[in-house]
Amino acid sequence: MRKFFLVGLVAALAVAAVAMAAEMPGKITIKDCVDTKTAVTFDHAAHVKAAKDCIGCHHNHKDLTAENAATIKVEKCGSCHIKPEKPETPACSGKKMTDNPYHISCVPCHKEAKKADAATTAPTTCVGCHPKAGA
């Protein structure tokens, strides 16, 4: 009897994990901050697999995990970074590596991934994320 209960419990947890993972986006287009560059297609599913944790990107969601993502409302980055309330919050209108929240978060991680594995597809140049218009 215990064996059937344990198998059932494991199966239920697996189904719940798959259902929660299904709630997370696969590929998304980040267009909140588009003004002079093209929108960025972001493969969220690939980043979930590659990331050590969620907080690296979702810094305002300290308790966010892949397991509980379906139960937590996750705000878009632009909700804080399009028109920051605090002067120290980077605005996505910034173009430099030091003043744009995406550049601050994404580029160092991509460079680290490239250093660890030269064959990685993690882009490290502007056009790697922002394809030329019409391309």
Rg (C-alpha) for the chain, rounded Å, is 18
Place of tokens 């970074």: 81
| Whole-angstrom distance, CA of residue 75 vs CA of residue 83 | 14
Stated pTM of the model:
0.69
Q: What is the pLDDT of residue 2?
A: 56
Mean pLDDT, rounded, for 88-99: 88
pLDDT tens digits for 31-78?
A: 877 777 788 899 999 998 888 889 888 998 999 998 898 898 988 888
Structure tokens at 23: 């709630």
Whether the per-residue pLDDT at 28 is higher than 50: the answer is yes
Instruction: Return the HEC string of the chain.
Output: CHHHHHHHHHHHHHHHHHHHHHHCCCEEEECCCCCCCCCEEEEHHHHHHHCCCCCCCCCCCCCCCCCCHHHCCCCCCHHHHCCCCCCCCCCCCCCCCCCCHHHHHHHHHHHHHHHHCCCCCCCCCHHHHCCCCCC
Instruction: Report whether pLDDT(9) > 60.
Output: no
Is pLDDT above 50 for 133? Answer: yes
Confidence of residue 92 (pLDDT cuts 50, 70, 90): confident
Section 87-106 average pLDDT:
88
How distant, in Å, are the alpha carbons of 14, 15, 54, 67, 133 from that of 18?
6, 5, 17, 9, 36
- Give percent of the chain with pLDDT exceeding 70: 81
pLDDT over 50 at 103, yes or no = yes
| Percent of the chain surpassing pLDDT 90 | 26
Q: Which domains does the chain have, with CATH numbers?
A: 2-129 (3.90.10.10)
